[in-house]
């Protein structure tokens, strides 16, 4: 985290970035639960950069073995390294005569399996973290539909097929340097799976 403007007011996104770094640190055993709780509470109460900086100054960036500064600002060079690493918060989803959604700030597992039967689902990777640089998302849609939203700068390969249904592959393409690679596979039977590139609003 940089501290060029210590009195600059902190944003909700910056507080959440620090909170995510603390969650990773406790998962890796760098913080005990008491210290984690204290720092997390301080992070959400912080009003300025000067209050946020000390909370992570002794911690490495996500996935790093040696300490490195965690930037509050999401520039092109720093975005992906901050979003790769950490334990998965979800490795699958099922919708039977219903629906599911994975969106916002979550960590997708190395292999994520989604299944819909007479239902629908949405997998939104635009704000997601990734457990590893290589991610496989397996989508199986039977008499239902599923949508996968990916950011414009993500490396995506779509390899699914449809039988009496559709499996859209228009999102296939390279990402920016440092981007994780996501492979979307599976099949749709009397249903559809759509993979689309879409920026956040």
pLDDT tens per residue across span 94-127: 999 989 999 999 999 999 999 999 989 999 999 9
Query: In the structure, what pLDDT confidence band is assigned to residue 59 with cuts at 50, 70 and 90?
Result: confident
Residue 71 pLDDT > 50: no
Mark whether 94 and 49 lie in a shared domain: no
Which positions ≥6 away from 68 have C-beta within 8 Å?
60, 61
70 has a pLDDT exceeding 50: no
Q: Of 45, 73, 101, which residue is a domain's last? A: 73
Distance CA 146, CA 15 (A): 32
The structure tokens listed for 23 are 């969650």
Domain membership flag for residue 4? no
Is 180 found in the same domain as 94? yes
Mean predicted lDDT score pLDDT of the chain: 84
Q: Which of 26, 42, 73 is the last residue of a domain?
A: 73
Tell me the average pLDDT across 63-91: 63
* The model's pTM: 0.61
Residue 2 lies in a domain: no
Task: Indicate left, alpha or beta for 179 from its phi (over 0: left) and psi (-120 to 50: alpha).
Answer: beta
Residue 143 and residue 184 in one domain: yes
**pLDDT score at 78:** 40
Cα 190 from Cα 141, distance rounded (Å): 8
pLDDT interval class at 63 (50, 70, 90): very low
Residue 65: partners with Cβ closer than 8 Å, 6 or more residues away: none
pLDDT at residue number 6:
54
- 96 and 181, same structural domain? yes
Q: Residue 100 is inside which H or E element, if any?
A: strand 99-102
Inform me whether the pLDDT recorded for 68 exceeds 50. Answer: no
Question: Does residue 61 share a domain with residue 16?
Answer: yes
Structural domain total, the chain: 2
| Predicted local distance difference test score (pLDDT) of residue 197 | 93
Question: Is the Cβ–Cβ distance between 77 and 96 less than 8 Å?
Answer: no
Range(s) of the domain holding residue 63: 12-73
Whether residue 54 is contained in a domain is answered as yes
**Please, what is the angle between helix 49-56 and helix 33-45, to 10°?**
160
The rounded distance, in Å, linking the Cα atoms of 78 and 161 is: 35
């Amino acid at each position: 985290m940089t501290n060029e403007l210590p009195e600059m007011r902190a944003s909700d996104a910056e507080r959440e970035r620090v909170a995510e770094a603390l969650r990773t640190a406790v998962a890796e055993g760098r913080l005990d639960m008491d210290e984690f709780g204290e720092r997390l509470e301080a992070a959400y109460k912080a009003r300025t950069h000067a209050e946020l900086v000390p909370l992570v100054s002794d911690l490495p960036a996500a996935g790093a073995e040696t300490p490195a500064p965690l930037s509050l600002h999401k520039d092109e060079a720093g975005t992906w390294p901050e979003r790769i690493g950490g334990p998965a918060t979800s490795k699958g989803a099922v919708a039977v005569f219903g629906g599911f959604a994975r969106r916002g700030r979550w960590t997708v597992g190395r292999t994520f399996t989604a299944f819909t039967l007479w239902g629908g689902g949405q997998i939104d990777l635009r704000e997601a973290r990734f457990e590893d640089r290589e991610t496989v998302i397996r989508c199986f849609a039977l008499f239902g539909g599923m949508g996968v939203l990916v950011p414009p700068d993500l490396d995506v390969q779509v390899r699914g097929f449809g039988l009496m249904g559709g499996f859209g592959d228009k999102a296939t393409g390279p990402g920016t340097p440092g981007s994780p690679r996501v492979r979307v596979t599976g099949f749709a039977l009397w249903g559809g799976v759509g993979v689309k590139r879409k920026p956040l609003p």
